[in-house]
Structure 1
Amino acid sequence: MDRLVLLGSKGGPALRPGGPWPSSSLLEIGGRNFVIDCGLGVTRGLVDAGMSLKALDLIFVTHLHSDHVLELGPLILTAWTAGLATPVTVYGPPGTSHYWQRFCQAMDFDIEIRIVDEGRPDIRELVTVKEFAEGVILEEGGLTASALRVDHPPVTDCFALRFEHGGRNVVFSADTAFFPPLAGFAKGADILVHEAMLEEGVERLVARTGNGARLREHLFASHSLAEEAGRIASDAGVKRLVLNHLIPADDPAVGEADWIAAVRKTWSGDLTIACDGLVVGLLE
């Protein structure tokens, strides 16, 4: 069955005891596995979702903030040690090739010794990195992936992604401030996965950090409130809105009811609030 699995639902790179993992998702559609973003925990999330790491196929990185790319190299290397022997293509913004090359350099000892000692293929020859900008970035076997540059200052290369196959459409907002053109990009999608922030939770979050004022400035300049995500979903006429990359995602004073109350100001359709490991089916 085609499905979306929300592997990591938290916005930001920090971890707290018992809390959720940073951003990553698995989209299984058209017989292919799409990994979208590789925050810390993505490898464990994929295994727990029942995906064989040897089936790793297509990876998309929306931007190079650590909560979206930190475990890209470790995911691929771990899959390789689990028996991956087929090509993997990584699609990412400018700078992704640099990340991968330097990761392989850092792991040179392990890579070289496993090739010799365990008879593995050269991981550096299995992986192809394709850096993209706006527009169609993949057309293959009835699958299409497209990118739209969104508003996530100071990161300029941050892209929403749209995946299409057999009349089904799934859109990921990536990290973005309220960005009206995203509604056109997501028009008619079956699922819109959109980042979301809760204002009262943000105030508590910045109050307990050492750089509170500066962090608050960044969050409100670079991210979307839940009601703004609802506006995009309404304007796009999507079938289901999934709130993900939640800020805050680990505040005990914030529950699912708070997210629902915020987004219902602007969105009355089908709604899912992300949590780690949650599966969203793609209906016929």
Structure 2
Amino acid sequence: MELYFLGTGAGMPSKERNVTAVALTLYDERGTMWLFDCGEGTQHQILRSPLKASRLEFIFITHLHGDHVYGLPGLLTSRSNQGGTTPLTLFGPPGLEAMLEPVLRYSQAHLSYELLYREVGEGVVFQDDRFEIQCSKLDHRIDSYGYRIVEKDKPGKLDAAKLHTQGIPPGPLFGKIKRGETVALPDGTVIDGKSFIGPPVPGKKIVILGDTRKCEAAVSLSSDADVLVHEATFDSSLDELAQMYYHSTAKDAAQTAKRAGAKSLILTHISSRYQEDEAARLLSEAQQLFPATWIAKDHWSFSIS
């Protein structure tokens, strides 16, 4: 499981940063990837990355500002040309389908796959046997959401050493024991398979927020997250500007991560005023409050081990 940052800029592209898009690769877990936001030029960024648009399963849109959605028409049509045939689901705020469908219709876009829309609101927006995705509304000029991806706990590992001490050799019985079944051994001894399985392995929790001012909803959604991806459009000297435009400073992001008990924080959505080494100010500001902070740049990845 890995986060791959395709665009890390705010508002408009710059020479160093394209606008917002981040992929969560789930190749080992389900052979797919999920995309969070799709700013203009995202399909170009994918071409310059190891990612494949044909692997896309879900796209989650945080809000409908252009720097988060203008890349959708191009990416959706390119996915057809690149061999994408499996269904693709778009999750997003009310208005996403109404905004996108006329563009696809009037441009006579041909999609070789089924495109599905799922309108999000507060609460659980997706769940299967491996993942649950929760959604909360944040504090922005328009409806903006954050997504919490929760990997469900995995079964504990089979304690082969304990089986060996009981004189149980490797073989077909191991499979039944690993499933926690009650098993009768050749000598007539009956054992409970559950007693040979370790504790469940906790699943990962990843939180990706849309644009927002500092707010309680962000803290609650990010509770105990393994990774929190948070916008940091400005440094704290521009706090009034951040408040005016409903954005966060790097200090705001660090305070949210600290209050939420997150394990790591990644800053993104960086204003174009922070060119070259200027972005280091944002990182330093956040690390003073929350040391386990990184600042994303385009084509940078973060492994969630």
With normalisation by structure 1, the TM-score equals 0.82
Task: Check 1:224–1:259 CA distance in 2 against 1; reply closer, same or farther (3 A cut).
Answer: same
Structure-2 separation of matches of 1:255 and 1:220: 21
* Structure 2 portions without partners, runs of 5+: 153-202
Q: How does 1:223-238 map to 2 (within 5 A)?
A: 223-238=247-262
Which position in structure 1 is the counterpart of 2:70? 70
Code of the residue aligned with 2:257 in structure 1: it is A
Higher Rg: 2
Deviation at 1:252, TM superposition (A): 4.5
2:233 match: 197
- Identical aligned residues as a percent: 25
User: Which residue of structure 2 lines up, in the alignment, with residue 213 of structure 1?
Assistant: none
Residue of structure 2 in register with 1:147 after alignment: 135
Q: Secondary structure at the match of 1:4?
A: strand
Mapped to 2, the partners of 1:8 and 1:15 lie a distance apart of 9
What corresponds to 2:95 in structure 1? 95
TM-score (norm 2): 0.77
How far apart, CA to CA, are the structure 2 residues paired with 1:151 and 1:255? Answer: 24
Matched AA of 1:158:
S
* Partner Cα separation in structure 1 for residue 149 and residue 46 of structure 2: 19
Please name the residue that 2:162 is paired with. Answer: none
Partners of 1:64 and 1:43 lie apart in 2 by: 18
- Check 1:53–1:181 CA distance in 2 against 1; reply closer, same or farther (3 A cut): closer
Question: How much does 1:72 deviate?
Answer: 1.1
Q: What is the alpha-carbon distance in structure 2 between the residues aligned to residue 249 and residue 192 of structure 1? A: 24
Can you give the 5+ residue segments of structure 1 that lack an aligned partner in the other structure? 112-121, 204-215
Task: Determine the structure 1 residue equivalent to 2:302.
Answer: 280
One-letter code aligned to 1:240: S
Question: How many positions carry a matched residue from both structures?
Answer: 252
Task: Report how far residue 57 of structure 1 moved.
Answer: 1.1
Paired residue secondary structure (2:270): strand
RMSD of Structure 2 on Structure 1 (CA): 2.1
Map Cα deviations across residues 168-193 of structure 1 (whole Å, 9 max, x no partner).
Answer: 01101210001123112111111000
Q: Is 1:188–1:236's contact at 8 Å kept on the other side of the alignment?
A: yes
Shift of 1:73: 1.7
158, 183, 196: which is aligned to 2:144? 158
Change (3 A) 1:71 1:165: same
**CA shift for structure 1 position 101:** 1.1
Q: Would you say the 8 A contact 2:9–2:18 is kept in 1?
A: yes
Greater relative contact order, per chain length (Cα 8 Å cut-off, separation 6+): 1
Q: Does 1:261 align with 2:284?
A: yes
Which of 119, 122, 131 aligns to 1:134? It is 122
